[in-house]
Amino acid sequence: MQSPRDLMRAVLAFGGVLRSAGLPVTTPEVMDAVRALEVVDLMDRHEVYLALRTVLVNRMEEQPAFDRCFEAFWTYRADEGQGLDGLITTAQPARADEEHAPDLVESAQEKQAQIALDDWDEGEASEDEPLEVPGLSDREVLMEQDFSTFPAEQLDEVARLTVLIAKRLARRVSRRRKPTRRGGVVDLRRSMRANLMKGEIIDLRRRARRRRKVRLVLLCDVSGSMDLYSRFLLQFLYALQNVFGRVETFTFATRLTRVSDLLRGPSYKRALKRLTEVRDWSGGTRIGDAIRDFNQEWGHLVDRRTIVLILSDGWDTGEPDVLAQEMLTLKRRAGRVLWLNPLLGNPSYEPLTRGMAAALPLVDHFAAAHNLSSLRELATHLILR
């Protein structure tokens, strides 16, 4: 018979396996899982599965990973013929699991490699410090230069400058948001107190209406030459991220990939550098399909308080009709849709590609984002009224 301690240890180990597979399992949740197992039939595998799933899974997207982990972790011991209650008595379940569930561990390690970006290149952390850059005017030349024309060795400096500009902007925006004394909604509660002796309300007390932060959704084309611009845009927006409620990022070339989790946390700059590695070089860009996938899978991230930014040169190898239809769906949901096309920085450029022509009428703002000054300019459009 298992003792409660062994049950606890097994569940703890299972929590570890889930964590390495990318599920954010916390200790209180593990404790709840133990309590949950006390009120179900431990001899019934499906019941154990359902109970653990209810407690340890937090969102639908985590379920496939949970299922894989559950299979790997709780199956192997059944194979040893111990029965289900025997499963839970193994002395070192976590290690045993690693030996017996190569598939799971492999995928877990893969996931870890994606997430554990903090471990590489620690030396760069100083980028977060407020840097003293001698007068931006000295860099006026850099401000106007197209990102693609910088030599490789200068890119780091430009990146640093991008962050610096973003931080200055962030300070300005947050100052602008302080509540005003006039306007806002009537605060009945305070008015009532203030007028207690007067018998009627003469002096209205007001409070500022709270403002929800604007959220951003970025859809970045990482095919071919777009990749470099995408990285600068991301760098810029992530340095601004405190101003926004949330920033969600997707990349696409032929496939749509959500990279928000990769970019979360202090290691986002390093993660940015890796974005190119998930890129698929095959074929052209199917923007319409990418936006359709986004609308289908991730439409719930977009509401009237969301600004959607699409960065692409508009070279769509898919059907323009699809692109137009999906842009319409997106526009209906979002507060604003911005399209950034670095080619617009070239004076002779005209948006004549079929994709661009289909998308343009459905865009609230069309801008370049090809150099530092255009990024700075972009910030003024990231506001909803």
Partner 1 sequence: MRAEIKKIQDMMETADYVTDPAIAMSVHLAMTLKKPLLIEGHAGVGKTEIAKVMAKMLGTSLIRLQCYEGLDAAQALYEWNYPKQLLHIKLEESTTHSTSEKEAAIFSPPFLIRRPLLQAISQPGAPPVLLIDEIDRADEEFEAFLLEVLSDFQVTIPEIGTIKATQPPYVILTSNRVRELSDALRRRCLYMWIDFPGFEKEVRIVTRKVPGVNERLAREISRFMETVRTIRLAKVPGVAETLDWAQALSSLHADHLDEELVAETLGCVVKDADDIKRLKRELASGGIGRFVAAQS
Site string for partner 1, 199-228 (x = CB under 8 A): xxx--------x-x----------------
Binding span for partner 1 by CB under 8 A among 89-97, 194-202, 276-284, 371-379: 194-202
Q: Give kind and range of the element (H or E) at residue 247.
A: strand 246-252
User: Cα–Cα distance between 66 and 108 in angstroms, integer?
Assistant: 11
Q: Which is nearer to partner 1, 24 or 102 (CB)?
A: 24
366 in the Ramachandran plot: left (φ > 0), alpha (ψ -120 to 50) or beta? beta
Q: Which residues does residue 316 pair with via DSSP β-bridges, in sequence order?
A: 285
Stretch that binds partner 1, among 103-111, 172-180, 198-206, 346-354 (CB under 8 A): 198-206
Nearer to partner 1, 330 or 369 (CB): 330
What are the structure tokens assigned to 376, written together? Answer: 């700075």
What is the pattern of x (binds partner 1, CB under 8 A) and - over residues 321-360? --------x-------------------------------
The single residue among 95, 174, 193, 346 that binds partner 1, judged by CB under 8 A, is 193
Q: Is 50 in the site for partner 1 (CB under 8 A)?
A: yes
C-alpha to C-alpha distance for 271 and 239, rounded to whole angstroms: 14
In this structure, what is the dihedral angle of CA atoms 38, 42, 48, 51, given to the nearest 10 degrees? Answer: -20
**How many helical (H) and strand (E) elements, i.e. helices and strands, does the chain have?**
17, 8
Q: Identify the helix (H) or strand (E) that includes residue 231.
A: helix 226-239
89 lies in the site for partner 1, by CB under 8 A: no
Q: Can you spell out the DSSP letters for 112-164? A: HHHHGGGGS-GGGGGGGS----S-GGGGHHHHHS-GGGS-GGGHHHHHHHHHH
| Choice from 24, 179, 266, 361 touching partner 1 (CB under 8 A) | 24
Rounded Cα–Cα distance for residues 170 and 164 (Å): 10
Dihedral sign from CA coordinates of 174, 176, 182, 186 = negative
Name the minimum Å distance from CB 211 to partner 1: 10
User: Shortest Cβ distance from residue 325 to partner 1 (Å)?
Assistant: 9
Cβ pair 101, 109 in contact under 8 A: no
Stretch that binds partner 1, among 101-109, 139-147, 168-176, 296-304 (CB under 8 A): 296-304
Nearest approach, Cβ of residue 373 and partner 1 (Å): 33
4 forms part of the interface with partner 1 (CB under 8 A): no
Q: Which of 3, 4, 63, 83 binds partner 1 (CB under 8 A)?
A: 63
Q: Which two tokens stand for residue 257?
A: 């990939």
| CA 229 – CA 346 distance, rounded (Å) | 14
**H or E, element range at 305:** none
Q: Which stretch binds partner 1 (CB under 8 A): 1-9, 56-64, 106-114, 313-321?
A: 56-64
Residue 297 in the binding site for partner 1 (CB under 8 A): no
Interacting residues with partner 1 (CB under 8 A): 24, 26, 28-29, 32, 35-36, 39-41, 44, 46-47, 50-51, 53-55, 57-60, 63, 188-189, 192-193, 196-197, 199-201, 210, 212, 245-246, 296, 300-301, 303, 329
